[in-house]
Copies of this chain bind each other. A is one copy, B any other.
Amino acid sequence: MGYRENPRPGGRSARVQAAVHQSVRDMLSTMDRADVTIPLIAQRANVTPSTIYRRWGDLQELLADVAASRLQPDGAPPKIGSARDDLEAWVEQYADEMASGVGREMIRDVLSAADATNAERCSGYTQHQLCVLIARAKEYGEAFPTLVELMDHVISPIMYRVLFDQAPGTDYVRELIARAMPRDTSRT
Contact = CB atoms under 8 A, between A and B. Distances in A.
Nearest to A114: B34
A160 B34 CA distance: 27
A164 B108 contact: no
Interface residues of A, number: 24
A164 B112 contact: no
Greatest chain B CB density within 10 A among A122, A123, A164 is at A164
A119 B164 contact: yes
Interface in A151-176: 151-153, 155-157, 159-161, 163-165, 176
8 contacts: A108-B112, A111-B111, A123-B164, A152-B156, A152-B160, A156-B159, A156-B161, A160-B160
